[in-house]
Amino acid sequence: MKLAGRSAVFHLSEDGKSVLRLVLGDENFEIATANTREAIVTVVEETDDLGVWIRLYRRPDSRYFLLRWEFILGVELLGGRGNEIGLR
């Protein structure tokens, strides 16, 4: 499944949460994970063999960040069913 351009909730391992907290800082981590039980909601920019490239908003700017596959426990796609192709 293609994830690029899709909004998603990433459920992270404890190591993944620790890395994200280091990158964002405590205050921005709390904002980024608000109401999601420490999962992160973001738009996927691109995927590759190493992981998922996401954009992190860190006051006052934003940066691209590689979220490695080994830190992702699950992905929940947001926003509709997408395009259907074929017969029902």
Parallel, antiparallel or unpaired: strands 61-68 and 40-47: unpaired
What's the CA gap between 33 and 37, in Å, rounded?
A: 7
What's the CA gap between 29 and 77, in Å, rounded?
A: 21
pLDDT at 49: 95
pLDDT digits (tens, 9 = 90+) for 17-52: 898 888 887 777 776 676 667 788 888 999 999 999
pTM for the whole structure: 0.75
pLDDT digits (tens, 9 = 90+) for 44-82: 999 999 999 988 776 677 788 999 999 999 999 987 655
pLDDT at 38: 72
